[in-house]
Amino acid sequence: MAKEAVEDESEFYSKAERYWKAVPATVDGMLGGYGHISSLDIASSRAFLLRFLKEGPTRTGTSLALDCGAGIGRISKRLLLPLFRAVDLVDVTEGFLDQARAFLGEDARRVRNFFCCGLQDFSPEPGAYDLIWIQWVIGHLTDEHLTAFLKRCRQGLRPNGLIVIKDNMAQEGVVLDDVDSSVCRGLDVVLGLVRRAGLRLLAQEQQQGFPDEIYHVHTLAMR
């Protein structure tokens, strides 16, 4: 588990904050030099998400989405704002959120809140969100904090609301990245934490077409 890889929790979080403050506030910076995969990432995410937005008794609403680990708003701009009437962004790096206001352009008027906060300390507004999108950020949370955050996210959903995690998955176990101070968990480990948070898995998909040298990426929908 991640707790075995993280020796000093305080340093784990503060080192990550220092790392991201030094990263350029660009799409390429958000994607660790792999900016060219952004369009494919968004297209795959859109196709995955649309299955839950179709008409029907369990249809997920489209009023408000929460973008977790939002950075400069890449996902909000390309995925969430075209599908939802409004979004909230939360990120630990204030400089990224400042840049998001410019990056989103006219769409920034449909951002309800820009929250500058680490997810370990963030509580979604209860019963507010149709969708909580969590991408490439769970590795910056300890097991305990990720489980607790997912529980708070569950409380933040509207009826038929959805939580989506899209992230790197290790082949097995937990791998520590000492550069950006994160962990990469195996899919079975992540699914175990999802169950511990009291969430039910609705759909699971492996991203196709990404470069061979990066981790496999999986998308999980739950409520």
CATH numbers and ranges of domains, the chain: 2-222 (3.40.50.150)
Kindly report the backbone phi and psi dihedral angles of residue 29, in degrees, each rounded to the nearest multiple of 5, phi listed first: -65, -40
CB 135 within 8 A of CB 167: yes
Q: Which tokens in the block code for residue 89? A: 């962004």
How confident is the model over 103-150, as pLDDT tens digits?
Answer: 999 999 999 999 999 999 999 999 999 999 999 999 999 999 999 999
How confident is the model over 155-199, as pLDDT tens digits?
Answer: 999 999 999 999 999 999 999 999 999 999 999 999 999 999 999
Q: Which amino acid, residue 26? A: T
Q: Which tokens in the block code for residue 197? A: 């948070």
